[in-house]
Amino acid sequence: MNGSRAEVELLLKEGKRQEVFKRDQLWEQMRADAVFRGFHEPSPAFDPTFKFDKWTDTYDTSAKQRVPAWTDRVLYRSPPGLERAIVPTAYTSCPAVRASDHKPVAASFDVLVNAEQDRSRALARGGASRGSMACAVM
């Protein structure tokens, strides 16, 4: 996370989660196409999930005073030419889990099943691809 602990905590307190996310190192690297090319991540609708004092909802109170960050992530990539084959429908954390210094994350997606086969059939018919949908939870 780019920014000081105080800056990040103030932004979170003010409800400016997206401003904090813009400082996220993975997001910056993905945006620059430097890592995980072709992958996407839904914008998190939850506060950073690391580094908590175990058994609490309090960010790191140790001498290190680590900056809160998103470290557990769900990334996805649709097949080339089928950018809408995977559509995120939810992206959340599990704040009730306190046994670790991380809060787990989960996502769900609408997934076009047999997308390539469906696209080929649609093109052969000269029509649009309707596909079938499935929901996946990771």
What is the per-residue pLDDT across 11-27, written as a single tens digit (0 to 9) for each? 999 999 999 999 999 99
Task: Find the mean pLDDT for residues 80-98.
Answer: 91
For the full predicted model, state whether its pTM sits above 0.85: no
Q: What is the CATH number of the domain that holds 81?
A: 3.60.10.10
What are the start-end ranges of the E strands in 44-104?
86-93
Domain count within the chain: 1
Whole-number Cα distances in Å, 132 to 83, 116, 125, 129: 15, 12, 17, 9
Range of the domain at 57: 5-137
What was the pLDDT predicted at 84?
85
